[in-house]
Amino acid sequence: MRLVVIWTIFAVYLAIIIYIVYNSSGSNTIQSDPFITNTDSTVVVDSTFIIPPSVTAVDSLVRLIDNALNSGNIDQARRYYKELLEIDPDSRVAGGARQMIEQAEEERRRRIAAREKTRKNTVTSTRKTSTRSDRQQKENTRIAELQQKISSNNIRLENALSRMRTVNNAQQRITWYYIKNVSHYVYKNSFETYIGQSDEGDIWLRMRIYYNGDKWLDIDTYELYADDKLYTISTLYGNMERGRGRAGAWEWFDMKVSAKEVDMIEAVMEAGRSAIRYIGESGSWDRTMTEGEKLRLKYVMDAYNSLQLQSDYNNELVLLRN
């Protein structure tokens, strides 16, 4: 199509030249042959009808430009176009050649942009596929690890719960775990812990401090000693119950255990010497904690940690599988 346009322009250009030359020879001169200028047998060719060398060069350069563009060599086409401008800068042929070069450059820019877009899409798709594959592989690895941890923790959990007795509260939808063979009878002096687990899976730890004596101490503070460490507990952060019976006066404190109290319990049960002081408005009383008390604390902590781990593992496993 480009070649047809160029040849049309070139034909118009040539017709104009012939028209100008024909008019310059004189409109009143009648000749039987425009190339014969005398009456003898000598034939003289009028130099005005010879095709100028520039026309032939333009035609050749146009062909070279078209061939270069067809082969995709735009840089070479521009070099030929530069030569064409030196010969005939203002012609329609030069304008048409420039338009063809500009169209070719625009087409090349579109192809480059399309290739770059395709490359980016391919890279992005590959990365997404690779990322999904890597993520899936990591998830599968983590699932296998969790299954192994759950299996190992099951053994620990069974051993820990074998020392516990279970009390289900259907109304509260809570299961309570207490250490076996230890009654929560109020007439005693001891430090105990127990576990709560809701039907939704939440797990928490609570502690009870029992006092029994001839009279109430009206306790408001406890001090626990673990070797050289001192921990203070205020009754403001829990529930205090008091009563009197055939075995004397009793005071019973119960509270939910936080991370601070967990550290305290672990320190008490691991200490060489542990003691507790009951401090109240009506007096105070000290006693040394028994090894049985500290062992019971350890058993409950084992069960609590095992239940918590099992819950954490199972929750993570559910998230990974969904």
Amino acid at 45: V
For range 275-299, the mean pLDDT: 96
pLDDT(39) > 70: no
* Burial (0-12, 13-18, 19+ Cβ within 10 Å), 303: buried
For the chain, percent of residues with pLDDT exceeding 70: 79
Assign 260 a pLDDT band (cuts: 50, 70, 90). Answer: very high
Q: 300 vs 8, 272, 276, 297, CA distance in Å?
A: 102, 19, 19, 5
State the Cα angle at 51 between 46 and 53, rounded to 5°: 120
Assign 35 a pLDDT band (cuts: 50, 70, 90). Answer: very low
Percent helix, strand, coil in the chain (nearest 5)? 55, 25, 25
Q: Which of 18-22, 192-196, 288-292 has the lowest mean pLDDT?
A: 18-22
Better pLDDT: 167 or 16: 167
What is the model's pTM?
Answer: 0.58
| DSSP state at residue 225 | E
Give me the pLDDT at residue 49, please: 38
pLDDT(263) > 90: yes
Better pLDDT: 28 or 108: 108
Give me the pLDDT at residue 152, please: 84
Assign 17 a pLDDT band (cuts: 50, 70, 90). Answer: low
pLDDT(301) > 70: yes
Give me the pLDDT at residue 7, please: 66
Is-contact 147 314, C-beta < 8 A? Answer: no
pLDDT(129) > 80: no
Q: How many helices (H) and strands (E) does the chain have?
A: 6, 10
Is-contact 80 64, C-beta < 8 A? Answer: yes
Give me the pLDDT at residue 289, please: 97
CA neighbours closer than 13 Å in the CB half-sphere of residue 140: 6
Q: Which of 64-68, 178-182, 233-237 has the lowest mean pLDDT?
A: 64-68
pLDDT(189) > 70: yes
State the Cα angle at 254 between 251 and 259, rounded to 5°: 140
Q: How far apart are CA 82 and CA 191, in angstroms?
A: 102
Assign 4 a pLDDT band (cuts: 50, 70, 90). Answer: low
pLDDT(296) > 70: yes
Amino acid at 149: K
State the Cα angle at 260 between 256 and 263, rounded to 5°: 110
Considering 44-53, 88-97, 165-174, the range whose residues carry the highest mean pLDDT is 165-174
